[in-house]
Structure 1
Amino acid sequence: MLKHIFAWMLVILAIGGTAGGLGYYKYSEIQTAIAASRNSPEPSEAVQSVRAHTGEWSATTRAIGSVVALRHVEIRNEIAGVVAEIGFRSGDIVDKDALLIQFDARQEQAALAASEADARLAKITLDRRESLRASAAFNEQEFDRSREEFAAATARANNLAVVVDKKRITSPFRARVGITNWQPGAYLDVGTLIVTLQGVDADAYVDFALPQDSAAAIRAGSRVTLSGPAVPNGEMTATILAEDNTADGSNRAVAFRAVAPGFGERLRPGTFVDVTVETSKPQQAVMAPLSAIRRSPNGQNVFVLVEEEGKLRARMRAVTTGAVKGGDIVVLKGLAAGDLIASSGSFKLRDGLLVHTGTPAPAPAEVGVN
């Protein structure tokens, strides 16, 4: 019995000794790691920094605009007839008064010639009766009849001249013509669309609509910014020329028309552009580079670089942002002008991390932001 007890005690002592040895070994390893970490440099990251700066900011709204020619018209015939001649080809630029289409007017021209002959004869008769006014052969009644016959013949000739003139359709202004499939010999009923004309002018209109709340802040003479792939140089300024006198009954939007210098020569009518409109007066705001803004499920934040005990550390700060202009964004809340923030490389940071950065980039000159 004593032998069994002694054997178990030896086993227990062996296990305890082994566990103690392992524990001491692990404790020594941990102490060695702690000592090594105390001697190793603190982790850090290198980033580029910039100081938040001030600029002018104003609230804006955006809309889709459509380019409209200063002059445009659909050409339709007022009198039915057979096409005798077409004076243009699809896509041509035609001058003012250039022939567009000539209808067969031979019958009307013959009738006009006859009416003009009747008018000339009536004029001769009237002149002869007028010459007899001082003689005894003069008859007042016959003279009155001749005068009215001459007037009637002249009116018939003028009426036929108008009909003949309507058989010839010309361009009302210099314009580019659209595509047409009409050919000589075709019969066109009254009101048939012959071709569309888009005026060739240096400028063009841009039509757009804004919700009634935004529309209340702008008037004729206000400036808007046009942008988009079709806009020369990517962006340009236009001036509002007019606003509609009523709001649309279906969506309560108000239509506006702006004039865009140089658009008539560069963009074809119907092209769409982005329209940005200022809806408030410019005001001062803090601005920061877009690259400095980090987004997370909790919102937007930036890393402000703060000097602590002689070292520069990153401190996360929540911000509220506004409009974007170029590479900058308006910070409505959370930053002050002059705060040093991480720009490029801020994705590598965490709160409290040691930061190395070169000389902060100078704040740009005060700019306007829409």
Structure 2
Amino acid sequence: MRAVKAVLGLVAILAAGAGGLYLTERLLAASEPAAETAGADSAPLRVETITPETVTFADAVTAVGTARARQAVDLLPESSGRIARIAFQPGDRVEAGAVLVELDSRAEQADLKAAQATLAEAEAAFGRQESLNRSGSASDAAFQTARAALLRAEAERDRAEVALEDRSLRAPFAGIIGLTDLVEGQVIDTATPIATLDDLSVIEVDFSVPETLLPRLARGQRVELTSAAWPGRVFGGGISRIDSRVDAGTRSLALRAEIPNDDRALAGGMFLQVRLVLDEQRRLAIPENAQTVEGDRVLVMLAEGNTARQAEIVTGQQQDGLVEVVSGLSPSSRIIVTNLHRLSEGSTIEPVARERRVEAAPVPATAPAPAEGGG
């Protein structure tokens, strides 16, 4: 019995020794990768760095506006009658004083000839009386009567000339003539609309801004406008008029801007998005993904030699993927933009300057794409 117990004890001792040897080999094998990982972590981390850009940031306010031609008028005839000639085509550009419509003027021409004949008789009679008056052969009363007759004849001639001129409708200013439904031979009166005339060389845009901006407004301030009719295009102009009163209902102030329109891209009545630039400043800017927000703090990682350092900055506006840096950075700061999740204060790094990306020039389109929904 004692021999059996001795054998069992010896077996247990041998099993324990074999198990301990096995576990020791496993622990030694596991420690080698850990050591290799620790060595890898201690190697410098390769990161890309950039310097801040200098970008123009604008303090601006947006509004909606309505376009109007600088000069616009609904053309109406000065007299009634039958249309003898329509001298324009809708969409034509006409000069100031150009004849647009002529009415039948035969009666007015006859009246003018009669008035001219009466004037000629009055001038002859006045000439005779003037000669007799100088020689003392005629009374002053007869001379004054002849002179009055001459003045009446001149007035009748002038009235006849005006009546004849009123048979022609002329353009009051240079511009683009609109559509018309009139035809030659049609009888019209002074209330019949002929067409519209718009001076589209300059477009005016009316819009409103809050009254709180009044101290910051001035004539000439830059305005940028966009239209759904011209995607991607920005029209530039400036403030030309500032209203003298604030609207009591909306507490807003009406403004008017002028925009050059040499290519007639804009038309009266168009809806426009307006951006009024109040102030512009050149500031340092960094990419949005280079910053880290912790509560009310904005942080960036800087490369100082081969060490990562954390810096707190004050930011402002955002524009085209960039963030304005009000304070906290210098133009020569090297900002880390990659591997930020693996960095901490004091990390050893291998900084590499990021190459500037050059965007390819856009290929010009062969024809403009039609606007959705017909504009």
TM-score, normalising length: structure 1: 0.69
| Equivalence for 1:328 | 322
Q: Partners of 2:126 and 2:105 in 1: how far apart? A: 31
Q: C-alpha deviations, 1:145-198, integer Å up to 9, x for none? A: 222222222212212221221121112333221121211122333233322222
Percent identity of paired positions between Structure 1 and Structure 2: 24
- After superposition, residues 222-261 of structure 1 pair within 5 angstroms as 222-228=220-226, 234-235=233-234, 237-260=236-259
Q: Partners of 2:188 and 2:341 in 1: how far apart? A: 75
| Corresponding pairs, count | 330
Q: Partners of 1:264 and 1:250 in 2: how far apart? A: 37
Would the aligned equivalents of 1:70 and 1:205 in 2 still touch at CA under 8 Å?
A: yes
The residue identity in structure 1 corresponding to 2:221 is R
Q: Partners of 2:28 and 2:225 in 1: how far apart? A: 65
Would the aligned equivalents of 2:210 and 2:251 in 1 still touch at CA under 8 Å?
A: yes
Q: Partners of 1:37 and 1:109 in 2: how far apart? A: 114
Deviates more, 1:36-45 or 1:147-156: 36-45
CA separation of 1:136 and 1:258: change in aligned 2, threshold 3 A: closer
CA separation of 1:317 and 1:147: change in aligned 2, threshold 3 A: same
Q: Partners of 1:185 and 1:252 in 2: how far apart? A: 53
Q: Alpha-carbon deviation of 1:219?
A: 1.0
Q: Alpha-carbon deviation of 1:278?
A: 3.3
Would the aligned equivalents of 2:126 and 2:143 in 1 still touch at CA under 8 Å?
A: yes
CA separation of 1:236 and 1:349: change in aligned 2, threshold 3 A: farther
CA separation of 1:307 and 1:161: change in aligned 2, threshold 3 A: same
CA separation of 1:301 and 1:134: change in aligned 2, threshold 3 A: closer
Would the aligned equivalents of 1:52 and 1:287 in 2 still touch at CA under 8 Å?
A: yes
The residue identity in structure 1 corresponding to 2:210 is P
Q: Alpha-carbon deviation of 1:226?
A: 1.9
| Match among 36, 39, 45 for residue 39 of structure 1 | 36
| Equivalence for 2:193 | 193
Q: Alpha-carbon deviation of 1:252?
A: 3.0
CA RMSD of aligned residues (A): 4.3
| Equivalence for 2:102 | 102
| Equivalence for 1:174 | 174
| Equivalence for 2:154 | 154
Q: Partners of 1:180 and 1:44 in 2: how far apart? A: 79
| Equivalence for 1:7 | none
Would the aligned equivalents of 2:56 and 2:283 in 1 still touch at CA under 8 Å?
A: yes
Q: Partners of 2:277 and 2:81 in 1: how far apart? A: 54
CA separation of 1:85 and 1:349: change in aligned 2, threshold 3 A: farther
Deviates more, 1:155-164 or 1:245-254: 245-254
Deviates more, 1:134-143 or 1:153-162: 134-143
Q: Partners of 2:31 and 2:198 in 1: how far apart? A: 82
| Equivalence for 2:87 | 87
Q: Alpha-carbon deviation of 1:138?
A: 1.6
Q: Alpha-carbon deviation of 1:286?
A: 3.9
Deviates more, 1:74-83 or 1:203-212: 203-212
CA separation of 1:286 and 1:268: change in aligned 2, threshold 3 A: closer
The residue identity in structure 2 corresponding to 1:73 is V
CA separation of 1:31 and 1:285: change in aligned 2, threshold 3 A: farther
Q: C-alpha deviations, 1:40-99, integer Å up to 9, x for none? A: 345999775323355564522123445544433332223233222110001111223221
Query: Runs of 5+ in structure 2 lacking a partner?
Result: 1-18, 357-375
1:212 pairs with 2:207: no
1:119 pairs with 2:119: yes
CA separation of 1:99 and 1:341: change in aligned 2, threshold 3 A: same
Would the aligned equivalents of 1:302 and 1:316 in 2 still touch at CA under 8 Å?
A: yes
Q: C-alpha deviations, 1:313-344, integer Å up to 9, x for none? A: 9x7979754142x553324577676554455x
Task: Find the residue that maps to 2:209 and give its secondary structure.
Answer: strand
| Equivalence for 1:267 | 265
TM-score, normalising length: structure 2: 0.68
1:288 pairs with 2:283: no
Q: C-alpha deviations, 1:198-256, integer Å up to 9, x for none? A: 2264x554444322222330212x33142536789944653333322223344233233
